[in-house]
Amino acid sequence: MILLYFLTSQLNCARLSFAEADKMQEYLHTIPGSVSALELIFDTDSNIQLIIDKDLMKDEYICGHPGINTSTVRLLRDDMLKYVREAMHEPTFIDLPVE
């Protein structure tokens, strides 16, 4: 519960939730459990806001599912950020608390 409060205050929003399965399919062409930044290419109307923990940016590589959770790809952090920006999304970076 503390993490949720922390996130909503950093993002300046009153309510934070995961998308329903039908919205994931509609906006990202994927299903729960398979979502990654790679699916942002399908969000042509910019309905999705990408939030990234700043600690994740310390690693050289970022891994994600390419639309299905039976596969994983490893991308250079900078290449992933280029991809996200080419998909017309600017990430919001936050500091998640370490518990």
CA distance 97 to 2: 9
Alpha-carbon torsion, ordered 66, 69, 70, 76, to 10 deg: 40
Q: What is the pLDDT of residue 4?
A: 62
Measured in whole angstroms, the distance separating CA 74 from the mean position of its chain's CA atoms is 15
CA distance 77 to 65: 15
Q: What is the pLDDT of residue 69?
A: 85
CA distance 97 to 53: 10
Q: What is the pLDDT of residue 83?
A: 95
User: What parts of the chain have a pLDDT lower than 70?
Assistant: 1-5, 98-99
- Exposure string for 68-89, b = 16+ CB within 10 A, e = fewer: eeeeeeebeeeebbeebeebeb
**39 contacts 73 by C-beta, under 8 angstroms:** no
Q: What is the pLDDT of residue 99?
A: 62
Q: What is the pLDDT of residue 89?
A: 95
The residue extents of the domains of the chain are 19-94
Q: What is the pLDDT of residue 5?
A: 66
Q: Give the global pTM.
A: 0.80
Give me the CATH topology for the region 19-94: YbaK protein (3.90.960)
